Amino acid sequence: KIPGQRLPLAKYGGRHTVTALPGDGIGPEMIEHIRKIFSFCHVPVNFEEVQVSSSLVGVNDLEAALLAIERNGVAIKGNIETKHDDPSFKSRNVELRSRLDLYANILHCVTIPTVPSRHKDIDVVLIRENTEGEYSGLEHETVPGIVESIKIVTREKIERIARMAFEYATLNGRKKITAVHKANIQKLGDGLFLKVIRDMSEEYKNIKFESMIVDNASMQLVSRPQQFDVMVMPNLYGNIISNIACGLVGGPGLVSGMNIGSKYAVFETGTRNTGTSLAGKDLANPTAFIRASIDMLRYLDCHYHANLISDALWKTLVEQRVHTRDLGGQHSASDVVNCTLQNVEKIMEAER
């Protein structure tokens, strides 16, 4: 359950319209899998597809995507590749999140039985500030060899992410929030982050509050991840900590990630990989994308279909162990999808 959840803007003839941004790499084939599953399950959702790709230079594709999301309220998205070597090329993913003010990135990392992982019984929710901090994109070379990278944090945005974390915890029966920071070094910036969240914790007496320095949090996460319940983090630490957490429960192919703002919501995979080397081979694990589509259905209040797809996927992964290579299996992405559809059919038959 997401605090302050808004109903989507677009619903015509009983059907939602959502924007689909396939992106690069494995994105397009993953969106095809989602389309196939949705149409098989008669999910009342139409897709408005907009191509945004790093290779479409000079095309106003990002503006078209933003317009479509503003119109529909909701999107599902693959990653858009960002080149590292061209400083003038800004990440379109970052730009999209900041322009839509998708201030919270929320991941739920849970171990799945039969999926190999280094630890058992992990169940942690990661809530990451998604628009400011190190991602402000303000960098310049003052004189050759000297670069300033500006990290901006504001009380207003810290309060917003902190509120999201406490409200999320309250709404979902969570017991503890850990604020991750480096306030011993970044005394002002991370100091403010910590202070704002600690002050707010006074309003939530039923939720235990603790803080942890990011280096220790990383170590604790890989050695004793079960101690964590909800983690709230500034942008860059949140990125790194979420990747550690996703790695712990089985890798980039499994976990979904929600980008939530006060108006719009965009659903992605948790680690936002492009998966360029896997593209077109039917090898990438479709689970993270399928779970992103389930998150989206829950957001749209389509709970029947969300549960149907979620139960069918669970049977595929856990009971039938249809695992792709990243999980040590031999199955293709299509095998996972087809098996899930067969399970949907069985569940629907059992209901009749």
CA 206/CA 230 separation, integer angstroms: 14
Q: How far apart are CB 28 and ligand ADP at their closest, in Å?
A: 13
* Contacts with ligand ADP, 193-232, as mask; x by CB under 6 A: ----------------------------------------
**Tokens at residue 71, please?**
């119109």
Among 78, 189, 252, 270, binds ligand ADP (CB under 6 A): 252
Residue 317 and residue 112 in contact, taking contact as beta carbons nearer than 8 Å: yes
Tokens at residue 335, please?
Answer: 């095998």
Closer residue to Mg ion (CB): 207 or 244:
244
Site for Mg ion in 253-282 (CB under 5 A): 274
3-state SS string over 96-146? HHHHCCCCEEEEEEECCCCCCCCCCCCEEEEEEECCCEEEEEEEEEEECCE
328 binds ligand ADP (CB under 6 A): no
Contact assessment for residue 218 and residue 241, using Cβ atoms and an 8 Å cutoff: yes
Binding at 256: pick from ligand ADP, Mg ion, none (beta carbon under 5-8 Å per type): none
Q: How far apart are CA 18 and CA 9, in angstroms?
A: 10
Contact track, ligand ADP, 261-280, x by CB under 6 A: ------------xxxxxx--
Residue nearest to Mg ion (CB): 274
Q: How many CB atoms are closer than 10 A to CB 152?
A: 13
Name which of Mg ion, ligand ADP, none residue 252 binds, using a CB cut-off of 5 to 8 Å depending on partner kind.
Answer: ligand ADP
Backbone phi, then psi, for 128, in 5-degree steps? -115, 135
Which of residues 105 and 274 has its CB atom nearest to ligand ADP in the complex? 274
Q: Measured from the CB atom, is 79 or 256 closer to Mg ion?
A: 79
Residue ranges that bind ligand ADP, judged by CB under 6 A = 25-26, 252-253, 273-278, 284-285, 288, 326
Residue ranges that bind Mg ion, judged by CB under 5 A = 274
